[in-house]
Amino acid sequence: MSAAIILAGGRSARMGHDKRRLRLWGPQGPTLLAHTVALAALVCVEVIVVLNDPQAWPDLPARLVPDAYPGAGPLGGLASGLAALAEDRALLLACDLPLLQLDLLQAMLAEPLDGDALVPRQLAAQAQAQDGSPHGQDVEPLLAIYRQTCLPTITACLAHDERRMGAALRQLAVRYLDPAWWMRFDADGRSFLNLNRPADLARATQLTFGNPPPAAARR
């Protein structure tokens, strides 16, 4: 069985306001964070949300975990979530992915995982290290699956002030999912559209207009 870890501790500096509270489906629709939690709950036995202000989300139907590594970015949030995990592995989701496709999440969770992580590759990026392993810039580490076996490597990186997801991935046994694999479940790669800047929000709003979230995610 798998749990979900949702990273919701970012400062939204480039967006200019708290993107977790965006309502892309209208004023009566869910917040972006609530939508992500509801989607994760459809496919995982437990949903853990890592964030720095749990008191601000008293009604969120998830297990709220403080970020044990504030300021360390997604890698610190992943470590915090894995440390709280009761299951062997978790689906990691950034909270700013409004167009997650349920079929893709289900397919990823159904894939066998003998190593430490299961990470999709980006569609167009080609950067490779000299040994043939990804640098980290050409992958999607914030929509991926990680096992608890990753935790010692990740905490060691953080102890050495290494906060890059790619640096941790290079030390883990990772199975990469090429675009030919994930495009069967998300042909346009919409799941990977994250909201960093106002332009991203404008595009996501256009794509979600007239397309309500799944019924279970409308709260």
The residue with tokens 């953080």 is 158
Please give the residue range of the domain that contains residue 130.
Answer: 2-217
Phi, psi of 6 (to 5 degrees): -110, 125
Q: Which amino acid is at 28?
A: Q
Question: How much is the pLDDT for 202?
Answer: 76
pLDDT in tens, 11-22: 655 555 788 998
Number of domains present in the structure of the chain: 1
Stronger pLDDT, 132 or 186, i.e. the higher one: 186
- Is the Cβ–Cβ distance between 46 and 57 less than 8 Å? no
Question: What integer best gives the mean pLDDT of the chain?
Answer: 87
Per-residue pLDDT band for 198 (boundaries 50, 70, 90) equals confident
Global model pTM greater than 0.95:
no
Residue 80, pLDDT > 90, answer yes
**151: exposed, middle or buried (C-beta count within 10 Å: 0-12, 13-18, 19+)?**
middle
Please give the pLDDT value at position 127.
Answer: 43
Lowest mean pLDDT among 30-34, 54-58, 132-136, 151-155: 132-136
The residues that bridge with 120 in the sheet, in sequence order, are 177
Residue 102: give its domain's CATH number.
3.90.550.10
Tokens found for residue 159:
């102890």
Contact of 31 with 51, CB cutoff 8 Å: no
* Beta bridge mates, 118: 145, 175
Q: Tell me, what DSSP letter sits at residue 16? A: S
